[in-house]
Structure 1
């Protein structure tokens, strides 16, 4: 069993999306992509709160929602772990997780009056920069 550290997560404090929701969506994406494997240990609420300078109740709320949705499970003596799933999430489900982020990016591109070709070229460049 691998234990992950809080460095997996990044928070955008100025975002209109609540912080707990940012955490929830990041865990969902990491689990759907297989970067978090079933049985992998998650950082404690305190670890994440300290690493990201968050209120522990915010992290606890995110973990609670993820547990209710079956993404995480509580294991006695181990804390939270990634829940077992029968198969990796299909590509369509993983793409659906990306849609809200892309919708926000599209809104910002329209606000900046950027043409779609410029935005798509920039996105393609970013995709190729960091594996």
Structure 2
């Protein structure tokens, strides 16, 4: 379930977006599942509703969720053929920044590869 780390330097809306995506990938949320309303989610996570609204709008832009007026917000069907090149480039840039930080701390490539494998295994529930 989504949780927000109030001491993290990552903005709350980004944490919420990542948490929802992680719940989808892990199977906690399935295509067609209804998400709490903006107000409900804000109350559950003790956040400002505007922050939740921002996260939901960005997830809609990425086609992760869909909002049906008067009905609610739902997990969208995952399109495995979808590759948004703009989003891919943003991820690559973040990845490059992580590699720079890791190299600065003298972390070896093998260790980074191990972290990547562990993260994949965690997301796939292995």
Give the alignment's TM-score, normalised by structure 1.
0.60
SS of 1:11's partner is coil
Alignment length (residue pairs):
119
CA distance in 1, matches of 2:100, 2:119: 18
Q: How does 1:1-131 map to 2 (within 5 A)?
A: 7=1, 9-13=2-6, 14-15=8-9, 17-28=10-21, 33=25, 35=27, 36-83=29-76, 85=77, 88-90=79-81, 96=88, 99=92, 102-128=95-121, 131=125
Q: Deviations over 1:43-65 (max 9, x none)?
A: 22233223333212100111123
Structure 2 residue aligned with 1:4: none
Structure 1 residues 75 and 25: CA distance shift in structure 2, 3 A: same
Structure 1 residues 54 and 24: CA distance shift in structure 2, 3 A: same
Unmatched 5+ stretches in structure 2: none
CA distance in 1, matches of 2:68, 2:56: 13
Q: Deviations over 1:70-123 (max 9, x none)?
A: 43222345321123x5x6323866xx4864664454243223221111222344
Asked if the contact 1:42/1:81 (under 8 Å) is kept, the reply is yes
Unmatched 5+ stretches in structure 1: 1-6
Asked if the contact 1:41/1:78 (under 8 Å) is kept, the reply is no
